[in-house]
Amino acid sequence: MNRVTRRLPAMPVLYATILLFIVCLLVAPSSVNGASLNAMLPFAAVLAVCGIGQTLVVQQRGIDLSVTGTVTLSAVMVSKLPHGDGDLLWAVPAVLVTGAVIGGVVGLLVTYLKVTPLIATFGMNAVIGGLVLAYSGGTTHRVPPGLSAFSTGRTLGVLNLVWLAVVLVLVAALVMASTRFGRGFVAVGANIDAARASGLRVSLIRWSAYVGASACYAIAGIVLAGYVNVPNLQVGDGYVMPSIAAVVLGGTLLSGGRGRMVGTLVAAVLLSQLNQFVLSVGAPSAMQLIVQGSVIAVAAVFQSARGRALASAVRRRLIPTQAKAVSA
């Protein structure tokens, strides 16, 4: 029963995704044909990987605005550092370490210097933007053929990027649900004071959220570079709002605590297909931002209502118990 109830919060986004595909099939069939799905799924997978990172931060009651910069820097680095497939063996780890270091710096600002997450990540994103320009010199480079082959290839008929997103989501969900670290991570996000009183290393756990998040953005940047082959200096633009929307739609509360990794994955597919549908019906590209913003607002309203209902239910159960204790 507990396993079922844990999955329920992710179900609404699954139903919404199924409904969206039905609407697309009826209104804009071209948005769900084979070519359209093949064009949509790689970007949905990249968004899902970014969403995993954003979920980690939201679980610790933060919002990460450094997604754009980290994805772009990672894409630029992995296209400029290696001079062939052989160099990928050290270039990819170097990019991942760079991403983790960025997250580590942000984590220090937030957890130890008490900088607001929005301010810390916004400032870091600006710094990364400058690093991208300085490192690239304003020029673009082609990624090694091996990386491009991986990002555009398939395994067992399924896109490699889809496999990557699914594996990362399952690993993250398993760590959160089945390890001591994961349970402590959830506890800190749910109630910092209680977690500190129980002996958990609160600052270290919160810091690790930003390290893990930036590592996810680095992975997203690497595979995105491989997919587009020649990443430009704006390749990471447009992933901040969708990553937040995926987290909220997926069922992770902005108030922190338990994350819904599978829900984030499903929401990434929903948002990517929604963008495809908007463009298929001839709406301007600016409509994508309007739709994404509206989705976040509506999902936040439902989250707030759900949170109030849960709090009310807890109070109704506690009051009779307290009354019995007093009468006894």
Number of domains in the chain: 1
Structural domain contains residue 292: no
pLDDT at 323: 43
Tens digit of pLDDT for each residue in 42-90? 999 999 999 999 999 999 999 999 999 999 999 999 999 988 888 899 9
Residue 12, in any domain of the structure: no
> Does 25 have pLDDT greater than 60?
yes
Q: Is residue 18 part of a domain?
A: no
pLDDT in tens, 2-18: 444 444 444 688 988 99
Exposed, middle or buried by CB within 10 Å (0-12, 13-18, 19+), for 223? buried
Residue 87: how many CA atoms within 13 Å on its side-chain side? 13
- Residue 275's pLDDT band, with cuts at 50, 70 and 90, is confident
Residue 26 within a domain: no
Separation of alpha carbons 24 and 37, rounded Å: 12
- Rounded average pLDDT over 104-120: 96
- Structure confidence at residue 82 (pLDDT): 86
* Residue 304 covered by a domain: no
Q: Is the pLDDT of residue 316 over 90?
A: no
pLDDT band at 313 (very low <50, low <70, confident <90, very high): low
Q: What is the pLDDT of residues 138-182, one digit of tens each?
A: 898 999 999 999 999 999 999 999 999 999 999 999 999 999 999
- Residue at 228 is within a domain: yes
Domain limits at 182?
33-268
pLDDT tens track for 194-218: 999 999 999 999 999 999 999 999 9
CA pair distance 119, 258, nearest whole angstrom: 24
Q: Is residue 212 within 8 Å of residue 218, measured between CB atoms?
A: no
User: Rounded to whole angstroms, how far apart are CA atoms 180 and 187?
Assistant: 11
Residue type, 189: G
Q: Percentage of the chain with pLDDT > 90? A: 67
List CB contacts of 55: < 8 A, sequence separation 6 or more. Answer: 172, 247, 250, 252, 259, 260, 261, 264
Predicted confidence at residue 8, as pLDDT, reads: 45
- For residue 311, what are the CA distances in angstroms to 52, 66, 97, 240? 27, 33, 41, 30
Domain annotation covers residue 3: no
More confident residue, 2 or 265: 265
The answer to whether residue 5 is domain-embedded is no
Mean pLDDT, the chain, rounded, equals: 88
